[in-house]
A and B are shown apart, each in its own frame.
Chain A
Amino acid sequence: MTTRHQETTIYEQIQASPRFQELRKKFRSWTFPMTVAFLAWYLLYVLLSGFARGFMAAKVLGNINVAMIFGILQFVSTFLIAWAYSRHAASKLDPIAEELRHEVEGKNS
């Protein structure tokens, strides 16, 4: 490590603390896989629109075809992921973040 000062800062102490590591893990282990998942799900939709047009053209209900259902599902999944993330953040991330924020701001002042 190329730390310039001898003493570690409050941020380094917090960063090294188990509580922060827990927050970081809870944040990353939810958002990173979910980002990969929704990007893959979107890319699948775009790829099917380009390369599987016969499949996308199949009619399901009246004039509603697979392409339309797939498109609407992208809306549904976007709304659901936004809702799920907000729930996760409010219950799992916010309490730890709040606690650590007070700890930092308490020591800083």
Chain B
Amino acid sequence: MNQQALSIVLFLIFVAATIGITYWASKNTKTAADFYAGGRSFSGVQNGLAIGGDYMSAASFLGIAGMIALYGYDGFLYSIGFLVAWLVALLLVAELMRNSGKFTMADVLAFRMSPRPVRTAAGVSTITVSIFYLLAQMVGAGALVGLLLGIEGEAAKAGTIVVVGLLMIIYVVFGGMKGTTWVQIVKAVLLMGGAGLITLLVLGKYGFNLSGLMGTAAEQSGKADAFLQPGLRYGTEEQGLAGKLDLISLGLALVLGTAGLPHILIRFYTVPNAKEARKSVNWGIGLIGVFYLFTLVLGFGAAALVGSDAIREQNAAGNTAAPQLAQAVGNMIFGEIGGTVLLAVISAVAFATILAVVAGLTLASSSSFAHDLYAHVFKRGQVTERQEMVVARVAAFVIGIVSIGLGILAQGLNVAFLVALAFAVAASGNLPAILYSLFWKRFNTTGAVSAIYGGLISAVVLVIFSPVGSGKPTSLFPDANFAWFPLENPGIVSIPLGFLCGYLGTILSKEYNAQKFAEIEVRSLTGAGAEKAISH
């Protein structure tokens, strides 16, 4: 059996298992709390694994390993922002949100404010962030299939996007949060196992001497010691000061964005109480940290054993470095069959990774549409739980179909910036609104709405008028030049702006509700009146 066939078989086994899980989950999804929050009955460890499964996207696995393989140290620098960010979630957000919210990010904001404007803003922001992120994953999936399964051409890419999209629709529509969480748990275990195995093999090849591996990687890269230092990818010396500010801007968005990502925030609702939420974030931090240490070895390993020319030949961005490394290290240690098997395994893991992440994003956006926009804005709360769940399922279906369409249309575009943009919007709009809501007595409706729209609009506008939008061959509009903002990452401007908008909006409005602040403060810190887990 060749590698492509084996990859497809392994992938089909994963699909069969996850469809089975989804079927089981659909039988156990009866109430809105089941659909949106998995009945709040996952343990801290389970949710910790699911956090890892939700967060370690194909962009992290393939993208960061590839970035390290091609640019050395700077790929590692990128992954550190993704990890440190979890401390913001652990210390300031996870437990307090679990205690005071119900199903979506907007629940916490709407708690002490005028619900319709706040839910509208939070819903718009949630759906925007999730669709950006979703689109990046979908286009990535299309680009990967040719490389991993050896199927060439636009039709194959479009076909892959359709398959990924339909599977994610099935997981979310039928399995809800229960099905999606289990898909993420399975994926996290497979990803950690696969990445861990290749890491061990690579380290074993170098006698567990990291310095030796780094030396060979630097030598093979042709960049010598510069490969082991910051500066080949971000803030290169040719880019001058703007490049370095861009690096800081990216760092800020990464570290502050995670705790504002809607698909991450809704994970805190799947556990019975704040203590389990804390435990799940701790497990998440452990898994994600170890995973990024794996990718460091994978990246340097690919540079040393595959070589940057061979990686660039397959994919200019280095996205196939990890699978190529799996094949190379397998060949070296177990002969050709070993290489074939490992490549097939890693390819299947990569697809499982994409599926789990897109399912999480679809769930976050459809939950927000049904719970925030439909139930509370359009219907002013006058809906039954059953109606709301029907709308959530229809929304998941529609969002899935739309993202399949957009994914196919965006095939030729460079969408890598969408993930960074999603983090920037989350950090600039969502995070200020959440933090002010939980900690600032004076905060009010105008403040919340100003923070979210201020952060969202400034991040998106700055990206459009940056080199990402126009003026460069890799821009969205390469033939035009309207780029007056010099940085590719808007965070350094849009994050302070989001906080400032929230502050100004608040003090310019007279609204102030001491009673409601007392309630959210006491509830968020003590867990009194928090939503309970349900058992069937």
Contact = CB atoms under 8 A, between A and B. Distances in A.
Interface in A1-33: 1-5, 9, 11-12, 14-15, 20, 23-24, 27, 31
Interface string B512-525: 11110011011101
Chain B contact residues: helix, strand, loop or mixed? helix
Contacts of A61: 211
Given A14-B522, A49-B247, A82-B285, A42 B229 contact: no
B489 to A, nearest CB: 12
Interface residues of B, number: 59
B474 to A, nearest CB: 22
Interface stretch (B17-25, B80-88, B336-344, B464-472): B80-88
Chain A contact residues: helix, strand, loop or mixed? helix
B215 interface: yes
A87 B515 CA distance: 32
Contact of A67 (B73, B235, B279, B281): B73
A17 B128 CA distance: 42
A91 interface: no
Given A11-B518, A34-B91, A63 B526 contact: no
A97 to B, nearest CB: 5
B114 to A, nearest CB: 14
Contact of A100 (B210, B519, B522): B522
A11 B88 CA distance: 27
B48 to A, nearest CB: 11
Nearest to A74: B80
Interface in B165-184: none
Interface of A: 1-5, 9, 11-12, 14-15, 20, 23-24, 27, 31, 34-35, 38-39, 42-43, 45-47, 49-51, 53, 56-57, 59, 61-65, 67-68, 71, 74-75, 78-79, 81-83, 85-86, 89, 93-94, 96-98, 100-101, 104-105, 108
Given A20-B522, A74-B80, 19 more contacts: A3-B515, A11-B515, A11-B519, A15-B521, A27-B525, A38-B84, A46-B247, A49-B231, A50-B234, A50-B235, A50-B244, A53-B231, A67-B230, A75-B83, A78-B83, A82-B281, A82-B285, A101-B526, A101-B527
9 contacts: A9-B515, A11-B521, A15-B518, A43-B251, A49-B247, A50-B230, A50-B247, A64-B214, A71-B77
